[in-house]
Amino acid sequence: MQRPIDELRTALVEGCGVAVEGSLLALALTHRSYAYENGALPHNERLEFLGDSVLGIVVTDYLYRAYPAESEGHLAKLRAAVVNMRALADVGRTVALGDYLLLGRGEESTGGRDKASILADATEAVIGAVFLTGGLPAATDFVHYLLDPVLAASARLGAGLDWKTSLQEASVSRDLGPVEYRIAEAGPEHEKVFTASAVVGGVIRGTGEGRTKKDAEQRAAEQAWHDITASALAPPAC
């Protein structure tokens, strides 16, 4: 069930001081499936296009200034770790963006409110709406409001800048043995939930859930990486 869009508008004002013009916010949350079912209404793909470019410049500017000693290649990897569908969908979930989406009946019935591609696109569209409302300063504040935790997390990753690669690096450097992932799934086809176990050298070091196998594996790898690196930093037993 879709929640009133004004609730989100109020939450954004209270959370980060950004007041998005109401009709633009509604447009940003209108998926093409809803638009086509309701007389070919305007939908959010143009705003998504704009928001994608705004997001790119804000994140690129931040990384350029925050990491003056890093090469262009490493900065590009850092940016890719932040500006990707999974990360954008996750930050969309932090503001419950899916609850406010205007979806067609088909998308509604197949779990579209939590579909990563739809959430990521809507997140970019809202960024575009913020930009049109308040310009680059407002959009910059909004992007940092959403993505600062992701930016901080990306800085802790290894050279591969994803948790599975970082876990593999940690395992190899500590000679812990091979890394593998065991997957279990539950729920109906349109609401399936995957649970992954990250197994390092035959030992389960982390678990994670996600709406896709890839998301579940990344979350399991993140937990395993923290477990391994924390163990390495712990003082020896007396």
Task: Say which of 90, 107, 124, 217 is annotated catalytic.
Answer: 124
State yes or no: 121 annotated in a binding site.
yes
Distance CA 146, CA 12 (A): 10
State yes or no: 14 annotated in a binding site.
no
Distance CA 148, CA 191 (A): 29
Residue with tokens 């994670």: 208
- Whether 52 is catalytic is yes
- The three-class DSSP label of residue 137 is helix
Output the six-digit token pair for 133.
């409302």
Output the six-digit token pair for 88.
């954008």
Distance CA 2, CA 66 (A): 39
Task: Say which of 52, 90, 222, 227 is annotated catalytic.
Answer: 52
- Whether 162 is catalytic is no
State yes or no: 169 annotated in a binding site.
no
User: 187: exposed, middle or buried (C-beta count within 10 Å: 0-12, 13-18, 19+)?
Assistant: exposed
Q: Where is the binding site for Mg(2+), in residues?
A: 48, 121, 124
Q: Where is the binding site, in residues?
A: 48, 121, 124
- Active site members: 52, 124
